[in-house]
Structure formats: structure tokens, C-alpha cells
Amino acid sequence: MCFSKFSFSMSLLSLTLLLQVGVGVGADPLAYSCASSENFTPNGTYFSNLSKLFGNLYFKTAPTGFGVEVVGQYSQNQVNGLALCRGDVNATECRTCVAGASSEIGKLCPYNKGAIIWYDSCLLKYSDMDFIGKIDNKNKFYLVNVNNASDPTTFNQRTKRFLSYLSSEAYAAPRMYAAGELELGGPDKLYGLLQCTRHRLQQFCILYFEENENGN
């Protein structure tokens, strides 16, 4: 039995791979994680810095679809944040998604010093730890397509080649985003979307994909 498994990793790669049909997502997040074991004090300095960070990301992210921000000095009250909108999303939808993510993560992870939330149109992460420019293999989630492939070996080989092609396309694209489809024969198609964040050098986009493809 063969399953298509989709891994969404925060640090460099946001990846969707869908067979036959797309996944419709409403206002609810795809996933979220309250990533820190520490909490901050309501109305304290960290709370104030986090609120400022969300506001800055709201304005910084929409024009290009990507934004990073650091608020506070090098102390326990410093907040690091990143927002990324899907590469084909316009500025208005991007801004709306980042605003909604900022509001929702506060409800889902109240007073948590680190959290990440994924939507269909964007993702948002903040932390008291400096993660900017670093690979994060910890924060990820999976969507599983339970449809079986009639020829798993061929399907997996074609999938790897398809994703390798998309990673090369994303590497060269200004927004480091690529999407496409692959004919599988008959009515079946493979749909892929791959996007890297822009806080690291472009070559890490391909490197990260190759390492995860090989199970590293």
C-alpha cells in the first residue's frame, strides 16, 4: 500500500503534493504548534515586543510576500519573527492572512514564548530564540493522501523527479516559489507546490530538498 505524504517544514521549505484533487481550506489553520516550554507575563515587556513584532510583520510581509523582524535587545524579552505568504498570493490576501495568523496564534498559544501557525495562504512563526537564517527541521506537519498508487515504484520515481524540477524552478524564482502539474496517464495528475523562505541563500533551497529527499 502506497501513500502520498506531504511534509510542511517551517525553516526552508513549504511543500504540498496533491494527487487528483486539491485540498480546500477555510479560515481554520492547517496546523499550529505552541513551540516553547516557557510563557511570558501578560502586559509585560515580551508581550509588548510581540505585539510590535506582529504589527511590523503585517506591514513588511505583504509587498513581497516575505518578512522577518526582531524586536527588543539581546535578552529574554527579544522576539524574533517570520511571515511567509504563498508565492501566488496577492498583497491584499497576504496581509489579511498574516493579520489573521497573528490574532489566531495568540488565542491558540496564549502567553507562549514561541509558536508557529500554517494557513493555506501563509505561515507565521515567532520565538524568543534566534532562528532567523537557521534551518528548522523540528516544526513540521503532514497531510496524507490515502489514495493508492497502482505502481508505487514508478510513482515514487516520477514524484522525486517532479519535486527536483520544482526545487530548481523555486531556486531561480524571485519569490523562491514554484508550482506545476504532471500527467500520470489517464485522468490522474500530480500537483506540486514548493516554496522556500528567503532568509537564507538560494542554494539552500535545493540543498534542503535533497537532504530531506534522502531522509537526512
CB-side neighbour CA atoms (13 Å) of 80:
13
User: What is the pLDDT confidence band of residue 212, given thresholds at 50, 70 and 90?
Assistant: low
How many whole angstroms separate alpha carbon 99 and alpha carbon 11? 21
Domain 31-139 bears CATH identifier 3.30.430.20:
yes
**Which three three-digit cell numbers place residue 19?**
494527487
- The model's pLDDT over 43-56, given as tens digits with 9 standing for 90+, comes to 999 999 999 999 99
Beta bridge partners of 115: 34, 126
Residue ranges of the domains in the chain? 4-24+141-213, 31-139
Lowest mean pLDDT among 5-9, 29-33, 134-138, 167-171: 5-9
The answer to whether residues 35 and 112 touch, using CB atoms and an 8 Å cutoff, is yes
How many whole angstroms separate alpha carbon 5 and alpha carbon 45? 41
Mean pLDDT for the chain? 81
pTM (2 d.p.): 0.79
The answer to whether residues 94 and 122 touch, using CB atoms and an 8 Å cutoff, is yes
Beta bridge partners of 81: 69, 126
pLDDT at 190: 86
The answer to whether residues 64 and 85 touch, using CB atoms and an 8 Å cutoff, is no
Residues 6+ apart with CB under 8 A from 163: 15, 17, 192, 194, 209, 213
How many whole angstroms separate alpha carbon 212 and alpha carbon 47? 35
Radius of gyration of the chain (CA): 18
119: nearest Cα among 29, 210, 200, 20 = 29
